[in-house]
Amino acid sequence: MNVIVRPANEEDIQSLKGLMFQYIVDFYKKPRPAEEDLTGLILHLQNNPSSGLQFVAERDGQLVGFATLYFTFSTLQVKKAAILNDLFVSPEARGLKVGENLFQTCLAYIRENGYAYMTWETAKDNVVAQSLYNKSGGQISDWLVYEIE
């Protein structure tokens, strides 16, 4: 198995959108976003690298996963910080360490670029993801996560 993890580029947009639709609609059961909105998000990240970055996993010329980092700042550490907002592997590529490769690539990126830390969330019932994160050295935060809509 030969998986290449690399930053997403303009040639990846169509395939990346397909993966993102799977992630949003099939995996998380959320409403399908407008295609132009999803394209706009991808292009925003590619055209504004200070906002964030997407990595893609490619196997045999096909995209089989992606990870999205969004960038912010840590006032407490007076450094940049990253939020791993998305990590998704297509069903046919699961069990092949694609998720682990994407996660390790994100981790290497933040370490090589002097970020204070990387944070992420996962569903309480997503034990597969939790296993990956625990194995990779992730720790459950002391902070509580709140949200409002």
Q: What is the pLDDT of residues 5-59, one digit of tens each?
A: 999 999 999 999 999 999 999 999 999 999 999 999 999 999 999 999 999 999 9
Which helix (H) or strand (E) segment holds residue 46: the answer is helix 35-47
Q: In what order do the strands lie in the sheet with 118-120?
A: 3-7, 52-59, 62-74, 79-89, 118-120
The 10 Å Cβ neighbour count of residue 131 is 10
Q: By the 8 A CB rule, do 101 and 57 touch?
A: yes
Range of the domain at 96: 3-135
Averaged confidence pLDDT in the chain: 93
Burial class (CB in 10 A: 0-12, 13-18, 19+), 100: middle
Amino acid 126: pLDDT: 81
Question: Does residue 81 form part of some domain?
Answer: yes
Q: What is the pLDDT of residues 82-118, one digit of tens each?
A: 999 999 999 999 999 999 999 999 999 999 999 999 9
Cβ-contact 134, 99 below 8 angstroms:
no
Give a yes or no: residue 143 inside a domain.
no
Classify residue 146: in a domain, yes or no. Answer: no
Looking at the domain assignment, is residue 145 inside a domain?
A: no
Does 1 score more than 80 pLDDT?
Answer: no
CA distance 47 to 91: 29
**Residue for token digits 């490769």?**
101
CA-CA distance, 136 to 79, in Å (whole number)? 23
Say if 36 falls within a structural domain.
yes
CATH number of the domain bearing residue 49: 3.40.630.30
Number of domains in the chain: 1
